[in-house]
């Protein structure tokens, strides 16, 4: 509350006294008159005794109109908290050690202009009858700070929204920026301190120094730049991650002050490229198989008739001479080899799609069981353990059971022969992709397939068996049959750890069940 003149301190100096006191030091008066900051002399009753021109200007009041104005009304209702704090300050002045308080206040001037002022109150111990109020206009500075904060927020959001990892480090290698994508890429968490993480920890030994050396060169995008380099960074757990790196050096004039790097994760891209390469290879394989199929069909038809004649006349001669004749073993050899040629011709005809067969809904689990029933009692399989993990309620596929049995038999015979009749064969069937795909996995514990052989296993006439033991058509025929069923077959192997064949077929839709189709 304002105090009456009778209640005011007897030590209060009158305005003429303060003016005379200032006037006695003309140079001080001139300084106050010229300073851009507001200066007010205020009594202990908070009445303005003196205000320099800058104070009048800052508060939007005509020159000298501040004199005799009370600070409470001058600050306005929004700043009564500050006036209250001033009162508290003087009530406890004897107990307080400091003689200055400082706050930012916001005022609406007489010109209806919004200003932010840095208000500093100083109580000079040598003059206990008044205090000084300094007013510094910080409106432009606060606007600039606000703009900088908005820009910093924008750039922080921009950096953290990037799908690429972004890091920055000072020239000592201390990390000063690590965005969210970099945290995720390298396996670090938000609450994990990066203060002790050096930039060299992100790369293999010596690579960080190679990068900075190339940044300083003119040969990799220009001085201070390193563009589109493919390299690896180290995950927190130690494994390497392939990335595409772009970065550079940040300069202050000609002084290097920091480096930055942008990491683009290449794992998904490399996987796509690998899948595209595999798809391309499969297309090339299909084209090759189609061409060989047409050739095989022509050769098979041309060979079939002569082989039939050879077998007919050899049997006639054998019957005429009898089994005891000395050439009878030779004739038996001719007949057996001719029969073997007939089998090869039959395989060639199968490979070249020269037969017709019906397609109907088929249960893959039944194909597996039927094939094992045929092979299980043969001597080659007596020391082989079959482990089945067949999915329940497996949807049917559209196919031909005889042809699919041939595929299953070829794969199981190859596995048994690779293990030399001693080992373990695992067969798994399951539905994938929401029951749209049926998958059969066949693995063995044999010696596996060499890497240089993997790419050739489905080629016609390719075999690793000795002469006379195989025609090299088993897997190529299986490949052709699976393709006819709109399926795929892939093989993977680690030498010494067996081989894995993966077969996939599209599941039949309900409307096709019970209908027969001819291929």
CATH no. for residue 295? 1.10.287
Is residue 339, in this structure, part of any structural domain at all? yes
pLDDT number for residue 350: 62
Residues in the chain: 519
| Residue 132 contacts residue 99 (beta carbons within 8 Å) | no
Return all residues near 444 (Cβ < 8 A) that are at least 6 apart: 415, 418, 419, 423, 424, 425, 426, 498, 499
Instruction: Write out residues in the chain with pLDDT < 70, as ranges.
Output: 1-27, 63-64, 90-99, 110-111, 125-128, 190-195, 285-286, 288-302, 340, 343-357, 460-473, 509-519
Same domain membership, residue 284 and residue 324? yes
Residue 154 lies in a domain: no
What is the model's pLDDT at position 34?
81
Residue 428 structural domain:
356-519
CATH number at residue 404: 3.30.565.10
The pLDDT, as a whole number, for residue 509 is 64
User: Any idea what DSSP says for residue 167?
Assistant: E
CATH of the domain at 235: 3.30.450.20
Q: How far is CA 317 from CA 313, 327, 329, in A?
A: 6, 10, 12
pLDDT of residue 11: 39
Contact 375, 381 (CB under 8 A): yes
- Quote the pTM value: 0.45
Residue 147 lies in a domain: no
Q: What is the pLDDT of residue 516?
A: 46
Q: Do 429 and 463 fall into the same domain? A: yes
Q: Give the per-residue pLDDT at 471.
A: 53
Q: What is the 3-state secondary structure (H, E, C) of 410-464?
A: HHHHHHHHHCCCEEEEEEEEEEECCCCEEEEEEEECCCCCCHHHHCCCCCCCCCC
Which residue, 355, 374, 403, sits at the end of a domain? Answer: 355
Are 59 and 133 contained in the same domain? yes
Is 157 a domain residue?
no
Residue 132 and residue 53 share a domain? yes
**Looking at residue 439, what is its pLDDT?**
92
Q: Indicate whether 241 and 280 sit together in one domain.
A: no
Identify whether residues 368 and 513 lie together within a single domain. yes
156: in domain: no
How many independent structural domains does the chain possess?
4
pLDDT of residue 77: 74
Residue 229 parent element (H or E): strand 225-234
pLDDT of residue 238: 84
Are residues 318 and 443 located together in one domain of the fold? no
Domain boundary among the residues 265, 282, 301 is at 265
13 and 130 part of one domain: yes
Answer yes or no: do 301 and 417 share one domain. no
- The predicted pLDDT at position 72 comes to 77
Final residue in a domain of this structure, among 308, 333, 355: 355
Look at residue 450 and tell me if it is in a domain. yes
Please indicate, yes or no, whether residues 367 and 460 belong to a single structural domain of this protein.
Answer: yes
Kindly state whether residues 482 and 396 are assigned to the same domain: yes
């Amino acid at each position: 509350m304002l105090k009456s003149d009778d209640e005011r301190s007897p030590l209060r100096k009158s305005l003429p006294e303060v003016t005379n006191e200032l006037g006695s030091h003309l140079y001080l008066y001139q300084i106050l008159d010229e300073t851009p900051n507001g200066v007010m002399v205020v009594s202990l009753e908070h009445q303005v005794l003196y205000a320099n021109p800058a104070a009048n200007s800052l508060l939007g009041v005509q020159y000298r109109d501040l004199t005799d104005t009370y600070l409470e009304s001058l600050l306005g209702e929004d700043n009564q908290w500050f006036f209250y704090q001033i009162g508290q300050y003087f009530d406890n002045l004897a107990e307080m050690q400091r003689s200055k308080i400082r706050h930012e206040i916001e005022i609406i001037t007489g010109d209806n202009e919004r200003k932010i002022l840095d208000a500093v109150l100083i109580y000079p111990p040598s003059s206990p009858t008044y205090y000084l109020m300094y007013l510094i206009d910080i409106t432009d500075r606060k606007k600039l700070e606000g703009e900088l904060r908005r820009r910093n927020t924008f750039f922080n959001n921009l950096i953290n929204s990037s799908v690429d990892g972004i890091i920055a480090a000072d020239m000592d290698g201390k990390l000063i920026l690590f965005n969210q994508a970099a945290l995720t890429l390298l396996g670090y968490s938000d609450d994990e301190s990066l203060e002790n993480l050096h930039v060299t920890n992100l790369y293999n030994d010596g690579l960080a120094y190679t990068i900075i050396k190339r940044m300083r060169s003119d040969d990799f995008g220009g001085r201070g730049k390193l563009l589109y380099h493919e390299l690896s960074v180290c995950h927190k757990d130690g494994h390497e991650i392939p990335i595409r790196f772009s970065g550079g050096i940040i300069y202050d004039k000609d002084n290097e002050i920091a480096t930055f790097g942008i990491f683009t994760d290449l794992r998904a891209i490399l996987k796509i490229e690998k899948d595209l390469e595999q798809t391309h290879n499969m297309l090339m394989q299909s084209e090759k198989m189609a061409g060989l199929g047409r050739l095989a069909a022509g050769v098979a038809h041309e060979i079939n008739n002569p082989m039939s004649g050879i077998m007919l006349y050899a049997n006639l001669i054998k019957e005429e001479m009898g089994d005891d004749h000395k050439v009878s073993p030779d004739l038996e050899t001719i007949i057996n080899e001719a029969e073997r040629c007939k089998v090869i011709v039959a395989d060639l005809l199968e490979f070249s799609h020269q037969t017709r067969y019906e397609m109907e809904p088929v249960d893959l689990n039944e194909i597996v069981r039927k094939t094992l029933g045929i092979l299980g009692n043969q001597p080659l399989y007596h020391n082989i353990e079959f482990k089945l993990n067949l999915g329940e309620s497996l949807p049917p596929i559209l196919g031909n059971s005889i042809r699919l049995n041939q595929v299953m038999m070829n794969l199981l015979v190859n596995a048994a022969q690779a293990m030399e009749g001693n080992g373990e064969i695992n067969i798994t069937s399951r539905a994938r992709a929401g029951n749209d795909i049926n998958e059969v996995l066949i693995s063995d514990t044999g010696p596996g397939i060499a890497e240089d052989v993997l790419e050739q296993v489905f080629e016609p006439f390719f075999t690793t068996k000795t002469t006379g033991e195989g025609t090299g058509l088993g897997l190529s025929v299986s490949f052709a049959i699976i393709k006819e069923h709109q399926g795929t077959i892939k093989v993977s192997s680690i030498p010494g750890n067996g081989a894995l064949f993966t077969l996939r077929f599209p599941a039949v839709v309900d409307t096709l069940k019970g209908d027969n189709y001819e291929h």
